[in-house]
Amino acid sequence: MMRDQTTEPRRPRLLVTRRLMADVEDRARRLFAATFSADDRPLTRTELLTAARGQDAILTLSLDKFGPDYVTELPPEIRILATHSVGHEHIDLNAARARGIAVTNTPDVL
């Protein structure tokens, strides 16, 4: 006898560090198991590192700085840093590469 195997696959877990436009947040909710920052302010290092536990990805803005020591401290589950900005100079690419963390940006956003 065959068992029904229609279980829904686990959606990637996404931490969104800042408030975004409503349609962007709605899309994130549909596509991901998204966690949103309650306030539209920079998270402290401790707040971000705590919130990032158990997440697969972080969606951030250019105002959030991810230097080499910060990237090194990210939980091991983090596989991608996505920035909602044209540039990515606020993320240390070498540190991310060393950790196997992909970095993406939105080059045509402007």
Q: Please report whether residue 33 resides in a domain.
A: yes
What is the CATH classification number for the domain harbouring 98? 3.40.50.720
Tokens of residue 80, six digits: 């991608």
Q: Please report whether residue 110 resides in a domain.
A: no
pLDDT tens, residue order, the chain (110 aa): 444 555 668 899 999 999 999 999 999 999 999 999 988 888 999 999 999 999 999 999 998 999 999 999 999 999 999 999 999 999 999 999 999 999 999 887 66
Q: Please report whether residue 49 resides in a domain.
A: yes
Q: Please report whether residue 1 resides in a domain.
A: no
Q: Please report whether residue 3 resides in a domain.
A: no
- Whether 96 contacts 81, CB under 8 Å: yes
**In which domain, by residue range, is 17 found?**
13-104
Rounded distance, CA 57 to CA 6, Å?
A: 26
Alpha-helix runs per DSSP H in 1-110: 22-31, 45-51, 68-73, 93-99
Chain centre to alpha carbon of residue 56: 7
- Whether 73 contacts 49, CB under 8 Å: yes
The domain total for the chain is 1
Q: Please report whether residue 94 resides in a domain.
A: yes
Tokens of residue 108, six digits: 């045509």
State the pTM of this model: 0.88
Rounded distance, CA 59 to CA 87, Å?
A: 14
Per-residue model confidence (pLDDT) at position 107 = 83
